[in-house]
Amino acid sequence: MLKFVSALALGVAVSFGASSAIFAQDNPMVGGAPMSPEMNIIENAVNSADHTTLVAAVQAAGLVDTLQGPGPFTVFAPTNAAFGALPAGTVDTLLEPQNLEMLQKVLTAHVLAGDYSAADLVALVEANGGAVGLATVSGDTLGFQMIGGSLIVVDENRNAARVTIADVNQSNGVIHVVDSVLVPN
């Protein structure tokens, strides 16, 4: 079983909020825009001012049709600030046409096949002794655990992201906003 506590002990700094703050009852506003459960992942994402980099990357990667498809998908959506925290030039490099496969891998490493609410993920964490790993669409693994009332997502490189807005329901799945970009192997 995957354990990710050591990743956090290795110096990954994550701020923790109250669990009530991340588990929403109704579809929350994201990036200053209402998110409609009748719209698909792409239709909602393009309305979020906090996700313009993600939308541009999805378009460049040719994944729009996939994420508009029936799914269901669970997307861990990094904010513009999360992309901005990457080393200088990383996003520009990923968007170059010769790096299409790498960009697709990075983006699909943020997607689970299926519709996983935050409560579903927490239940899996609890049922598996405090941490669980799930396969992404890219074939990589994301780890999940609850720390200090926050749902934490850890990639295979031990980068941790905190779910800052959970359960943004879509017609073809769910989006959870995260504060870091997850990097596949």
* pLDDT: which is higher, 112 or 9: 112
pTM for the whole structure = 0.85
Helix axes 52-60, 100-108, angle to 10 degrees: 130
- Mean pLDDT in the chain? 86
With bands split at pLDDT 50, 70 and 90, how would you rate the model's confidence at 159? very high
Nearest-10 Cα torsion for 39, 75, 152, 164: -30
Q: Enumerate the domain spans of the chain.
A: 16-178
Q: What confidence tens digit (pLDDT) does each residue in 10-34 have? A: 223 333 333 334 444 478 879 888 8
Minimum mean pLDDT range among 18-27, 119-128, 163-172: 18-27
CATH number of 16-178: 2.30.180.10
